[in-house]
Amino acid sequence: MPGGVLVGIARHARPKGPMELLETVEVTVDGGLDGDCRGRVKPNGRGRRQVTLMERGDWQAAMAELGQAVPWQERRANLLLDGIDIPQVPGMRIRIGTVELEITVECDPCFRMEAVAPGLEAALTPDWRGGACTRVKAGGRIALGDAVTVIQPGIT
């Protein structure tokens, strides 16, 4: 399967807090993106929403549909990928450097997107445009420009 590239990294230290753009970040199985409030696996939790992914092309399509130019991090996703189609199949995996992320569920856009731009929630709804939620299967350090590939579960 063709590969892509990591073109954006963002985290927020607290719920509803501002998004911080990064050039590199550590990713762990227990904590997701270092410093991101959503990545930590809670006791008895499944960690289904540790790291969120979005395709650059999907964000651009939503912006074109709305006639807007809002920065991607306003979507509140953690990683922006370019040149790759995020699998819409739970269990599939994405590799970024040594980091391996398992797709768990669609990252449904919520009503808070309307505060970003009127119509954004609806523009992100079709065909997983809002992105995917993932669970960290293998940690490591990632950086802008890292290669991104889709891998089959259990294949290294």
The predicted-structure confidence for 110-130, as pLDDT tens digits, reads as follows: 888 998 999 999 999 999 999
CA distance 3 to 16: 32
| pLDDT attached to residue 49 | 84
pTM exceeds cut of 0.85: yes
| All structural domains of the chain | 4-151 (2.40.33.20)
Alpha carbon distance 103, 91 (integer Å): 5
Quick: pLDDT tens for 55-82: 999 999 999 999 999 999 999 999 999 9
